[in-house]
Amino acid sequence: MNIFRLTDLSHLAAIVILLLKIWKTRSCPGISGKSQLLFALVFTTRYLDLFTSFISLYNTSMKVIYIACSYATVYLIYMKFKATYDGNHDTFRVEFLVVPVGGLSFLVNHDFSPLEILWTFSIYLESVAILPQLFMISKTGEAETITTHYLFFLGLYRALYLVNWIWRFYFEGFFDLIAVVAGVVQTILYCDFFYLYITKVLKGKKLSLPAKI
């Protein structure tokens, strides 16, 4: 059994932490709505195979949960608790991510078919979807503890997924270059955050970064 497939639980933990944080505080300051929109787009384009194939009840359930939670988060940020959303600092130009990623998914994929291109698009987009959130933190200069826990579990999920690919290559002879490269890119984006999380947040200090003007 590949125990690293349980990294799905780390991913789910990150999503649940963010949802509970928003619901319990009834506010969403410091959370990038743009990153959450990108993640909703990631899950939507990746799991269109819900309508074409069935692998297992667990697989289907996790896909539905990811999609439902991502749209629930977007709804809470942009609709229910819109008054608390800090749009003035959530200013990352997401078109600079979506357009290049869309073009790359057409050029570099495993099979030139609609579902495969959309799956590839989701893999590429997920690797950079967190950038608006990291940009927002760097712009405000700090992040709430719950937000940092969310980011930590999200980064942990991606880092462990790289180990999952190594496991699968060694024991199953399976290797997906697109997924591995995207995973490496995403993990690199989290490196500075991991360092700050370990040296500050775990010691009870508030995570802060030099604010950008």
Count CA within 13 A, CB hemisphere, residue 111. 6
CA dist 177 and 90 (Å) reads 32
Q: What average pLDDT score do residues 77-86 get?
A: 95
- What is the pLDDT at residue 187? 78
Torsion angle of the four alpha carbons 196, 10, 184, 39, in this order, in degrees rounded to the nearest 10: -100
Q: What average pLDDT score do residues 144-168 get?
A: 76
Q: What average pLDDT score do residues 150-155 get?
A: 80
- What is the pLDDT at residue 123? 93
- pLDDT digit string (tens) for 92-140? 999 999 999 999 999 999 889 999 999 999 999 999 999 999 888 877 7
Q: How confident is the model at residue 213 (pLDDT cuts 50, 70, 90)?
A: very low
- What is the pLDDT at residue 146? 66
Q: How confident is the model at residue 181 (pLDDT cuts 50, 70, 90)?
A: confident
Three-state SS letters, the chain: CCHHHHHHHHHHHHHHHHHHHHHHHCCCCCCCHHHHHHHHHHHHHHCHHHHCCCCCHHHHHHHHHHHHHHHHHHHHHHHHCHHHCCCCCCCCCCHHHHHHHHHHHHHCCCCCCHHHHHHHHHHHHHHHCCHHHHHHHHHHCECCHHHHHHHHHHHHHHHHHHHHHHHHHHHHCCCCHHHHHHHHHHHHHHHHHHHHHHHCHHHCCCCECCCCC
Percent of the chain with pLDDT over 70: 84
**Cβ-contact 31, 147 below 8 angstroms:** yes
- pLDDT digit string (tens) for 19-67? 998 999 999 988 999 999 999 999 999 999 998 888 889 889 989 999 9
Q: What average pLDDT score do residues 194-200 get?
A: 63
C-alpha distance from residue 164 to each of 3, 31, 151 (Å): 8, 29, 20
Q: How confident is the model at residue 192 (pLDDT cuts 50, 70, 90)?
A: low
Provide the sign of the torsion angle of the four alpha carbons 77, 78, 84, 90, taken in this order. Answer: positive
Q: How confident is the model at residue 6 (pLDDT cuts 50, 70, 90)?
A: low
Among the residue ranges 55-59, 150-154, 189-193, the one predicted with the least confidence is: 189-193
**Residue predicted with more confidence, 87 or 187:** 87
Among the residue ranges 13-22, 37-46, 168-177, the one predicted with the least confidence is: 168-177
Stated pTM of the model:
0.84
Give the mean pLDDT of the chain: 84
